[in-house]
Amino acid sequence: MSKVSCRKAFSARLTELAREDQSIFVLATDSRGSVTIGGFAAEHPDRFIECGIAEQNAVAIAAGLAKSGKTVFVTGPACFLAARAFEQVKIDVAYNKTNVKVIGVSSGVSYGPLGGTHTSTHDYAGMRALPNLTVLAPSDNVQAASLTEYLVRTNGPAYMRMGRGDVEGIYRDGEQFNVGVAKEVNKGSDITIIACGETVWHALQAAGKLEKDAISARVLDMFTIKPLDEAAVRQAARETRAIITLEEHSLFGGLGEAVAHIVVTSATPVPMRIIGFPDEELLVGRSAELFAHYGLSADNVVAAAKDLLEV
């Protein structure tokens, strides 16, 4: 399977879809390079709007365009779109139910070497709390392209976050995804690992290691953070003895807490472990270094699994 970044897969598919669908507009925030959206700009210059370094303005312009029937993708680094422009996402996109797709790239700790100004480990928490908004985090290029198509074909506000680097392939070309339905990427009966975005690959590695120790780990790719697949979480709590969540996000307000909310209210609650970034300033470093340091790794998941299962 290929190793391509989600953002490139997104841009390529969107540029392709825009050949057929004349309603697609893309707004950039001096982010042509970081979003890798230059191809769209070159091919569809009339539907590419450069808004400069002004994220608040860009998101609200997107809402105005969408109000008249356009499908608008407003793009830029997640750290800015999900923080500086949060009020515009809350009001002009979510509250107004406009057909705006907020695309945050280089999310999480992709920009780790740039320091804490450029991390976005808060975006699930903020975006999850906004009514009407769909929140997506693809785990590989195939899924990113597929979700891009979903965003084009459906009407309504959405936020999709993607990392910067090339990621390991999870899916074969042509794989189908249903938004709101978790994708089971490994069958298992002892424990369930729920991950999203780039952590899905680490979850799969962990499942492989656990299998060697005769522990059967189910892995769910929870690429739809919202609406969360509650049924899949309840099923995991019913059919497996523990749940671990793994996310490139703060421990506060992200996938782990979303899953925990379902688990504690299910008929068969099970012990859980939430793995993510602690509530502290993160060290400077490359994404892989930070993943390893903070335990977003297969080894840490394996240790947590054995601890939870008391083996």
Judged by CB under 8 A, the stretch of 62-70, 121-129, 148-156, 177-185 that binds another protein is 62-70
Q: Is 92 in the site for another protein (CB under 8 A)?
A: yes
Dihedral angle of Cα 99, 104, 108, 110, to the nearest 10 degrees: 160
Q: Is 94 in the site for another protein (CB under 8 A)?
A: no
Q: Is 45 in the site for another protein (CB under 8 A)?
A: no
User: By rule CB under 8 A, what count of residues binds another protein?
Assistant: 29
55 is catalytic: yes
- Show the DSSP H helices in the chain as ranges: 6-20, 32-35, 38-43, 55-66, 78-81, 86-88, 123-128, 141-153, 199-212, 230-239, 255-264, 287-293, 298-309
User: SS3 for 215?
Assistant: coil
For 154, phi then psi, to 5°, come to -110, 150
| CB of 50 or CB of 175, closer to another protein | 50
In the complex, minimum distance from the CB of residue 128 to another protein, in angstroms, rounded to a whole number: 20
CA 266 to the chain's CA centroid: 25
Q: How many residues does the chain have?
A: 311
* One residue of 28, 35, 41, 65 binding another protein per CB under 8 A: 65
Q: Is 69 in the site for another protein (CB under 8 A)?
A: yes
Q: Is 64 in the site for another protein (CB under 8 A)?
A: yes
| CB of 74 or CB of 204, closer to another protein | 74
Bridge partners of residue 186, in order along the sequence: 219
Identity (one letter) of the amino acid at 135?
A: V
| CB of 33 or CB of 69, closer to another protein | 69
SS3 content of the chain, % helix, strand, coil (to 5): 40, 20, 35
Other beta carbons less than 10 A from residue 39's beta carbon: 15
Q: Is 44 in the site for another protein (CB under 8 A)?
A: no
Residues 122-139: b if buried by 16+ CB within 10 A, e if exposed: bbbbbbbebeebbbbbbb
Q: Is 30 in the site for another protein (CB under 8 A)?
A: no
Q: Is 101 in the site for another protein (CB under 8 A)?
A: no
* One residue of 95, 181, 209, 239 binding another protein per CB under 8 A: 95
Q: Is 91 in the site for another protein (CB under 8 A)?
A: yes
Give the residue numbers annotated as catalytic, written as ranges.
55
**Which residues sit at the interface with another protein, rule CB under 8 A?**
46-47, 49, 51-52, 54, 56-57, 59-70, 72, 87-88, 91-92, 95-98
